[in-house]
Amino acid sequence: MSVTGVALMLFLTFHLCMNIVALFSGEGYNMICELLGANWYAIVATLGLAVLAVFHIVYAFILTAQNRRARGEERYAVTARPEKVEWASQNMLVLGIIILLGLLLHLYNFWYNMMFAELVGMEALHSPSDGFAWIQETFANPVFVVLYVIWIVAIWFHLSHGFWSSMQTLGVSGKIWFNRWKLIGWVYTTLLMLGFLVVVLAFAFGCAPSLCAA
């Protein structure tokens, strides 16, 4: 659970780096999309991510059910816990469901219209390799913008708790390091999610530097 969570967080970091490129250069972003198109290595990486995500989601549901039966509201077995149980810790299942629904929406908007479309030769509104156009198309819709903002906030809550919980599960314990990892996790996840939020809102309001240069 912790290992898959850390791996998925690293992927989110990579994904944000790609999105930042789109923020400043549509041409640069499309070059990355073409490189990571329906190539064998991209397909293998996608399958690997899918396995990690499915394992993480399924195990999370199993762990939540077991903990609720055994300890009521307690979600994770950790060596040290804050005096007050955090809201995110109490609502990890709800947050997980919101994140899963957001993931399905994101896969439809981008993976389905790009990699899948290229694999099966499906005709779409834009070229599968024109990821920049798909970003503009998606965030021109205010409904999608609102849904993505909700999704990003849910991911922030989930990660802000999950980061330090993962560190404890991986063996980092003690009050001093508990507080340090909690702070590191909060700063890291906040910057990460703020980055995604900036990208969404910049394209939604048409103020992304890459749009101004187009």
pLDDT at 62 over 50: yes
* Residues sharing a CB contact under 8 Å with residue 208, sequence separation 6 or more, in sequence order: 22, 23, 24, 199, 202
Residues of the chain above pLDDT 90, percent: 40
Considering the entire predicted model, what is its pTM?
0.82
Judged by average pLDDT, the poorest of 21-25, 31-35, 82-86 is 82-86
Residue-range domain boundaries for the chain: 2-213
**Is 156 or 49 the better-scoring residue by pLDDT?**
156
What pLDDT, on the 0 to 100 scale, is given for residue 88? Answer: 66
Count of Cβ atoms closer than 10 Å to residue 202 Cβ: 18
**Is 189 or 69 the better-scoring residue by pLDDT?**
189
pLDDT at 80 over 60: no
**Angle 45-46-52 from CA coordinates, rounded to 5°:** 90
Q: Which helix (DSSP H) or strand (DSSP E) does residue 138 occupy?
A: helix 131-139
**Mean pLDDT for the stretch of residues 102-120:** 90
What tokens appear for 81 in the block? Answer: 């816990």
**Mean pLDDT for the stretch of residues 42-59:** 82
What pLDDT, on the 0 to 100 scale, is given for residue 75? Answer: 46
- pLDDT tens per residue, range 66-76: 767 776 554 44
Judged by average pLDDT, the poorest of 98-102, 122-126, 189-193 is 122-126
- Is 134 buried (19+), middle (13-18) or exposed (0-12) by CB count in 10 A? buried
